[in-house]
Each structure stands twice: as C-alpha cells, then as structure tokens.
Chain A
Amino acid sequence: METNPADDGAGSEPLLALHGINVGFGGIIALHDESFSVRPGEIVGLLGHNGAGKSTMVNVATGAIRPQRGTMTIQGRQVTALGNPNEIERAGVKVIHQEPALAQHLSVADNITLGRAEEWQASDRRRDYARKALGLLGSTINVDRPVSSLEFGEKQIVDLARALSTDLKVLFLDEPTGALGQQEADRLHDLLRRLAEQGRGIVYVSHRLRDILSVCTRLVVLRGGKVVLDQPAADFTVARLSGALAPGMEVADRQVAATAGPVALTVRRGDQELEFPRGQITGLFGMAAGPQFALLESLFGCGARAEATLGSKRFSPASPRDAIGQGVYYVSANREKEGLLSQMTALDNLILPWIDRYRNGFLYSHAKAAATYRIAQKSLNIRGGHMDGLVSALSGGNRQKVTLGRWIFGNQPDVLLLAQPTQGVDVGARLDIAKALRGLTESGVTVLVASSEADEIELLCDRAYTCFGDEWTASQASANWSEVLLKSLVDQRATTGLDNEAA
C-alpha cells in the first residue's frame, strides 16, 4: 500500500497507528488489546498512573518491546519488524527520553552525526551538518563543545537536533520537562508546536498536567493497560483532567496552612538567614538544578559545608551519616540512582539505614523489620509487589513511597529534606505523599521541599522561599500560589540580571 509521504493535513491518514496491541511481562499487566494513532500535526498527550501502560505503549511504538500480538503501520504501511528499534527509527519514528541519550565525552557535532552516514565525512562537513540541525531548533550551541559541558536544557536540544536531523515523522517524548525549569519547558513547547505545524506527529508523555494541557491537541489516558479516554485537549482543565486520571479522588483541598511552631533550623546564605519552623512544610522554589537543591545537599552533609543552627546548636554535618545521626534525613530527586538499591528487596530498601536495630543478638531479624514495613505500607498506601520482592518490581510512585517511608517510619525524623518528592509520581501517589507529610508536621517535624515545579510547592507546602542566584524571597501559601511563585522567580531573574545562572 504505497502512500504519498507529502500527504498532510488534519483528518488525513495516521502517520503511525497501533492496532490490537497485547503486552504482558511476568504476570504484570501492561496492555490489553489496545490501539493508538498519531496524525500529522497532532500533539498527543499520553497520560496515566505509573504502571498504567504509557511507557509500554511508547516502547512498542519505538520498537524497544515486541508485543505478543498486534500490528503497527507507519503511513499506512505495515511494519513487519515489530520490536526492532533500528528498523522503526529508519522509518522516521524517534523517541527522546527524559535523560538525553548522548555520549558525554564526544562533541556536539560528533553526537549529532554518530551512527549516521555523515559520521564518515570530513570534520567540516559534520560540523556543518550539526549546525544545520541545531539551526532547525533556533539554537546556536557551539558544535565543538563536549556534551558533558552543556546545561541540561542544551543537552536536550542536542538530543532533539539529532532526532530532527533525519527524516522525522513521529516524535515520542518521555517526561521531557521532568528536569526543566518553567522557561526552558516553554521554549521546548514552542518548538514542539512548530514541529507539529510542519506536519509531524508528536506524542508527549508526562505527569505534569499543566504542561500537557498547554501543548497538546489531543489527550489519551491509560488506566490498567486500557485506553479509558481519548478526547481533544480543549475539553479539559487541570481539575477535570486529574479527576479523569484518578477517579473518585478529588484534588486535595488545600488545607489551611499549619501554624508555625518555633524555628527549628536556621540556615545562613550570604547575608540572609532562612528560617524553618517546626510543624510546617517550607518550600524552596527555583530553577531546574537551581541553588535550592544544593542547599538541601549541604544540609545533609554531601555538598558544601552548611552554615546552620539546628535547635540551639551549630549544625554543619560532615557526611550523610553525620546528618542522619542528628535526625536530619534526605530524599534525593534522583530516585533511581541515589534513592534506591534496585537489586535489593523493598524491605531492605526501607530499613537499611536502621538495620542495626532489627536484630536478635547479632543476627538480623526479618520479623522485626517486617513489622516496620507493614506500618509504612499501611500509612503510605504502598501497593503491589511484596516486601521480599525486588523494589524494582514496584511502580514509580510506590518506589518513591518506599524511599520516603525509610525516613519516616524507620526513625522519627527531626528535619526532613525532600528534593522533588512527587516528581514522576502519579496523582494518586502524590496525594498519599502529601497526606503523609501533613501527618508528619502534626508531630512537630520540620519539612523542607526543594523543587523546580511551582505546582509541587503549591500542593505540599505552607510557605516557601523562591531563590535565584543566592537571593531568597519568602512567600506564604495563597490562592494561585504557583503563579505567584513563578512571577517572583521571573522578577528575581530580571533584577539579578543574570540570565543563565544556575548554581
């Protein structure tokens, strides 16, 4: 069935279509007889909880997984080599993952031409080629720079340029804004709109409802391996969309801000003093990879030495072990690499820092540890898997609950430091986490949440500092707080006059 590749316009034949796809792994549900398509000019938002089948859908479409049953067409032509990523990429279907897949030590030009015919051309031609590819995105990154020296957003652009430099028909993006600040995300969205106007099809996978609604033209929601909704994006608001994602669970009413207890932690930054009272959740809002994250690391003893006072004593931990000994615990934003031991069981992951406590004599007592796990499981609503199964068998939201539970139920924290605790977590888990943190503050714990997402701060916090460079501005929870936060970040950015600062 030969089709015209120049064929475009709405209502035309899908660029890519999946029919009757079935996938399952080791008893875990993935996709039940599902279909999915993208037409030229569309930006399709693909949503669902962790484990709902989004990633599986993307993996089937890009050849990373071979479905047990089902067919796929690209521009009406049947793809015979399902599960062959190279074949599918050659047909013009590309995927951009959250973490750009680039060779860190090679230059930008080398990365863009790697594995292409141009790889064998003279250096000048390759650099021209790379410049042209970047030009399509309106970027002027020096093509001789090693990728390791680029900012995160720039890396993403290089990755995109690599995808665009060939005959691109359909682009899949998996959580593309997960590590981006608002402005970088807006820039990415403009770019996607331009690509769609040129007749390409785009599939956008994300947990960030605001991003999805701002850029997508059609929404597809998956739940338990089934498509439960497929409608134009214009029909939705953030509230309606969260309702569709987690039926029966309304977006939590913002509680009245908890009353502040006495100040537990004071941190000196330059000539400013940041104060963190007991019984409140204080947000630290800034750009992606901004100074708010460095602040948390220093308070946990794994960055620059902190200048702080905890209670009435000087607090400057030398190592995480030191900080933990003083009741200060930390959840990293990089859950998979820094928060979890994927080859160990869920139980081991929950109790490891406190393992010396679960003993009979000098032997480890599984029964005592299991009791703690059960409490955490109940309080945080950890679902699926088994405490003695690998933690990697749990879905993302439940893995996050394990990392969080470690610092709540193993030992009562004094200060809890959280970096993007609800990033990459579905709406249901987000609310479970918010509830658990609320409960903690009632028992007088001081909680700090660093984030580059205003929504996350608004959901979790009572008050916040917005930071840019090393300027910190305080604000209180209010209606439309996330807009207030974003505005204050933009203002600070303007007054500081530094446009690319990200400590």
Chain B
Amino acid sequence: MKLRSFWYFVARNGTFFGAIILALFFYYSNANFLSFNNMRNIGEALSALGVVAIPLSMLVISGAVDLSVGSVASLSGVVAATVMISTGSVTLGIAAGLAVGLATGVINGILVSYWKFNPIVITLGALSVWGGMALQVTAGRTIAGLPEAFTNLSLIRIANVPLEIFILAGAIVYGIVVLAYMPYGRRLQAIGGSNRAAFLMGVPVERVQFWMFVQVGFASSLAGIMLASKLAAATPVTGQGLELNALTVVLLGGVAFAGGIGRMSGVLAGLLFVGVLRNGLLFMNTSQFLQQVLVGLTLIVAIVFDESIRKFARNEWDDKPLPSAGPEGQTGPDASAPRP
C-alpha cells in the first residue's frame, strides 16, 4: 500500500523530482549553483519561455497546438521596435507589438477552432508566414537604437529581482488560477478530452478554444517584447526555436499531446527542469549545441521512463491480494502523470 502510493506520487511528479536531483548534482559540482544570483539567472532565462509555455500548455490541453509562437514573438518585437523608433512612443510601440500577437491569435483561432482546420498544418504555415514577414520588414537586419525608456524596462529591479521574473510569476499565477480554479479551465480539459461529448454538454467548444489561441498569441508577443527589451535590439530571428522549447516544456510537464490531460504543476516542473538543465550545463561550460542535444534527449528519456515507471507502479498494484473495497477515490493509474 505504501509502496504503491509512493510510486504513484513519483510517477505523477517525476519531472519535479528530476529537476531537484539535477539541481543537487550541479550544486555538488559547483556550490555557486544554488546561490541567489544564479537562481535569479535561471529565472531570467526562463521568463520569456515560461510566459509562452504556460498558455501553450492550456491550448494543448484543449486539443490544439500553436507552432507559430516563435515567429509571432519575433514579428512582435520587430513591429514594436519599428513603431517605437518612428513615433518615439514606447507605449505605442508595445501596444503595436501586443496587437500583432492578438491578431495572429485571432487568425489561428478562426482557422482552427471555428473552421476546423488541422492546428498543426495551420500554425506550421503561420510559423513560416510570420517568420518570413519579420525578415521581410527588417530586410533580415537587426533593429538597434531602441529608446532607453524601453531597454531600461528590463533593468528594473524590485527587491533585487528583475521585472521579468515578476512577469513570469504573473504568468504562473494566471496559469494555476485559470486551469485549476476557473470554470474555463475545466471547459478546456473537456473539449480536449472529447470535443463531441463536450459539445453535447453544451460547452461552446469553438469559442473556448478560440480564446485560448488569442491568449497564446498575446503571450507570444509579450515574450517577443520582453526579449527585445532585454537584448536592447529587435531581430527577426529572436523567437526562432521558441515553439520547440515551449513544447518541450509542455510535454515534459506531462500534458498529453492529444489533449484533455495536463496539470499546471507539471508544466511548471517542466519549466524548472529545462531551466536547471540549461543553466547547469552552462555552469559546466558545455557548448550551446550540446545543450540542445541534451534537452531533446531528456524529453525522449523522460517519456520512455515515464511509461516504464507507470507500468511498474501498475504491476505493484496487481500483485496485491484482492481487497473488496474500490479504489481510494484517488485518480486512477491512467491519470495524467509526468516523467523522469
């Protein structure tokens, strides 16, 4: 009984334990790893990624996916920078950048949620369209010389913690509240689990998912603007690869790619895991390229390991003598469950 609940707990929170073990390992090789400064570094490195991955995980739970988030981030940064420089207004620039995100989200949402086109096909196209447009607008060049008022935003610190970590914290609170504590979150899970069943229960399936696309678009442009402020420049390739990193976090977090299953705690563990791994490898002077190999490898190992640990946990139950009582009312073995 005890062993059973232990393995069940491990299986459900594997990514989190993996991140802790990894952090201890890096700490053992370099005591500075767990210093305040380095933890702040991890937080900073994760902020843009987290801002995208959190709403993206909710979109995946609703049964869709958005592959265009990286391109939208690039385009938003570029548009914000251009508007800022030509009008001299930072506010107007940020507003224009965010408008790009909302608009792309609306387009994806209409095509996928209302017109029922395949989300992978549509957003793969959008990835190319918005990415190409960012390159076209800038002729492939970096836009530098952004107003100081804008680049200073990334330097704001409250209690020695940079603004972007507060934005990440805001995204986390948003993710937890919306997914677990609002009726909307349950509707997302319902339509991702069975669109037809949710439709027959009167859930406005199109509208619910449409708004999730808009939120993802908005979050992508916010991430693009955050990156532009931090780099003090907007490049048409800033967001390249963001979609892959964000999806890695989502899947590492135990969200089912087919939809319907996922918890925000898992996604946050996935985010932590990626942050610790990346930063730790940096600490050990591993090359950028090798980092990418290892992050990808982790995802594959995590999924494989997850399957086997869950199988093990299941056998553990099967070997028990047969009690006549039902399960303890806990979610069954097929519930969402994360990795390593």
A binds B: yes
Residues of A at the B interface (CB closer than 8 Å) are 22, 24-30, 32, 68, 224-225, 300, 302, 320-321, 324-325, 330, 332, 337-345, 348, 352-353, 355-356, 358-359, 362-364, 384-390, 392-393, 406
11 contacts between A and B (CB under 8 A): A26-B333, A27-B328, A28-B326, A29-B324, A68-B318, A224-B324, A338-B200, A341-B194, A352-B201, A355-B183, A364-B183
Q: Are A343 and B189 in contact (CB under 8 A)?
A: yes
A225-B322, A332-B200 given as contacts; is B327 within 8 A of A355 (CB)? no
Q: How far is the CB of B69 from chain A (nearest CB, A)?
A: 25
Residues in A with CB closer than 8 Å to B317 are 25-27
Q: How far is the CB of A388 from chain B (nearest CB, A)?
A: 6
Q: Are A341 and B190 in contact (CB under 8 A)?
A: yes
Number of A-B contacts (CB under 8 A): 135
Residues of B at the A interface (CB closer than 8 Å) are 177, 181-183, 185-187, 189-190, 193-194, 196-204, 260-261, 314, 317-336
Q: How far is the CB of A320 from chain B (nearest CB, A)?
A: 5
Q: How far is the CA of A37 from the CA of B333 in the complex (A)?
A: 32
Residues in B with CB closer than 8 Å to A330 are 200
Select B260's contact among A300, A343, A364, A392, beta carbons within 8 Å: A343
| Chain B: CB-nearest residue to A395 | B326
Q: Are B186 and A355 in contact (CB under 8 A)?
A: yes
| Chain B: CB-nearest residue to A331 | B200
Q: Are B200 and A302 in contact (CB under 8 A)?
A: yes
Residues in A with CB closer than 8 Å to B201 are 320, 352-353, 406
Q: Are B196 and A337 in contact (CB under 8 A)?
A: yes
Residues in A with CB closer than 8 Å to B261 are 343
Q: How far is the CB of A97 from chain B (nearest CB, A)?
A: 20
| Chain B: CB-nearest residue to A330 | B200
Select A30's contact among B183, B319, B322, B327, beta carbons within 8 Å: B322
Q: Are A364 and B322 in contact (CB under 8 A)?
A: no
Q: How far is the CA of A345 from the CA of B263 in the complex (A)?
A: 14
Q: Are B332 and A393 in contact (CB under 8 A)?
A: yes
Q: How far is the CA of A300 from the CA of B201 in the complex (A)?
A: 11
Residues in A with CB closer than 8 Å to B330 are 386, 388-389
Q: Which 3 A-B pairs have the closest CB atoms?
A: A386-B329, A24-B322, A324-B202
Q: How far is the CA of A332 from the CA of B196 in the complex (A)?
A: 11
| Chain B: CB-nearest residue to A30 | B322
Select A384's contact among B199, B326, B335, B336, beta carbons within 8 Å: B326
Residues in A with CB closer than 8 Å to B329 are 385-389
A26-B314, A343-B189 given as contacts; is B334 within 8 A of A390 (CB)? yes
Residues in B with CB closer than 8 Å to A324 are 202
Q: Are B327 and A26 in contact (CB under 8 A)?
A: yes
Q: How far is the CA of A321 from the CA of B330 in the complex (A)?
A: 32
Residues in A with CB closer than 8 Å to B323 are 27, 29
| Chain A: CB-nearest residue to B192 | A343
Q: Are A321 and B204 in contact (CB under 8 A)?
A: yes
Q: Are B331 and A359 in contact (CB under 8 A)?
A: no
Residues in A with CB closer than 8 Å to B204 are 321
A27-B327, A385-B326 given as contacts; is B318 within 8 A of A320 (CB)? no
Q: How far is the CB of A80 from chain B (nearest CB, A)?
A: 20
Q: How far is the CA of A339 from the CA of B190 in the complex (A)?
A: 12
| Chain A: CB-nearest residue to B1 | A27
Residues in A with CB closer than 8 Å to B185 are 364
Q: Are A320 and B183 in contact (CB under 8 A)?
A: no
Q: How far is the CA of A25 from the CA of B333 in the complex (A)?
A: 10
Q: Are B203 and A352 in contact (CB under 8 A)?
A: yes
Q: Are B200 and A27 in contact (CB under 8 A)?
A: no
Select B182's contact among A302, A339, A344, A363, beta carbons within 8 Å: A363
Q: How far is the CA of A398 from the CA of B333 in the complex (A)?
A: 19
Q: Are A362 and B182 in contact (CB under 8 A)?
A: yes
Q: How far is the CA of A344 from the CA of B327 in the complex (A)?
A: 16
Q: Are A27 and B326 in contact (CB under 8 A)?
A: yes
A26-B332, A27-B317, A352-B201 given as contacts; is B186 within 8 A of A393 (CB)? no
| Chain B: CB-nearest residue to A393 | B332
Q: How far is the CA of A332 from the CA of B193 in the complex (A)?
A: 17
Q: How far is the CA of A404 from the CA of B101 in the complex (A)?
A: 42
Q: How far is the CB of A264 from chain B (nearest CB, A)?
A: 21
Q: How far is the CA of A342 from the CA of B196 in the complex (A)?
A: 13
Q: Are B327 and A28 in contact (CB under 8 A)?
A: yes
Residues in B with CB closer than 8 Å to A321 are 202-204
Q: Are B190 and A338 in contact (CB under 8 A)?
A: no
Q: How far is the CA of A221 from the CA of B73 in the complex (A)?
A: 64
Q: How far is the CA of A338 from the CA of B199 in the complex (A)?
A: 9
Q: Are A359 and B194 in contact (CB under 8 A)?
A: no
A27-B320, A352-B186 given as contacts; is B326 within 8 A of A364 (CB)? no
Q: Are A386 and B318 in contact (CB under 8 A)?
A: no
Q: How far is the CA of A388 from the CA of B186 in the complex (A)?
A: 13
Q: How far is the CA of A340 from the CA of B181 in the complex (A)?
A: 21
Q: How far is the CA of A91 from the CA of B330 in the complex (A)?
A: 40
| Chain B: CB-nearest residue to A224 | B324
Q: Are B324 and A340 in contact (CB under 8 A)?
A: no
Residues in A with CB closer than 8 Å to B336 are 343
Known: A68-B318, A348-B190, A392-B332. 7 other contacts (CB 8 A): A337-B197, A339-B197, A341-B193, A352-B203, A359-B183, A364-B183, A389-B329
| Chain B: CB-nearest residue to A22 | B322
Select A344's contact among B189, B202, B319, B322, beta carbons within 8 Å: B189
Q: Are B327 and A348 in contact (CB under 8 A)?
A: no
